[in-house]
Amino acid sequence: MGIVNGYVATYAGKEGKATVYYSVAKNKKLAQRLIGWMVKSIGEGNRYFQGLKKEHAGSQVFYSVRGEGGKHFFLCKDDKVIWIIADQQVANPIMEDFLTK
């Protein structure tokens, strides 16, 4: 798949929980191709995810989708591919915080 490194972090608190999957691809072009593959796979009537949306925060493009017990966000930033799944009640604040830092 072209991933050279990766991390998984799980967060939990009174308000809810989230998991971040952070991968480093061989290069920016490959990271963009991986995101494109995810968009295509989810957009083709995927039975696990619904409501795929392309969104923007400033110049950053990211995608959101619902399914598997939470709200998911995924994006490409340089050679990084990031996927976040969070409980509905904390999903938007987590993504806003992630995008501003």
Among residues 27, 15, 44, the alpha carbon closest in space to that of 81 is found at: 27
Report the pLDDT averaged over residues 33-49.
Answer: 88
The answer on pLDDT for 31 being more than 70 is: yes
- Provide the residue ranges of all domains of the chain, joining segments of one domain with +: 3-100
Least confident of 21-25, 38-42, 94-98: 94-98
pLDDT on residue 36: 94
Helices (H) and strands (E) in the chain, counts: 2, 6
The answer on pLDDT for 5 being more than 80 is: yes
pTM across the whole model:
0.87
pLDDT range class, residue 1, cuts 50, 70, 90: low
First to last CA, the chain: 27
Residues 91 and 97 sit within 8 Å (Cβ to Cβ): no
Q: Name the DSSP letter for residue 79.
A: T
Distance of alpha carbon 26 from alpha carbon 18, whole angstroms? 26
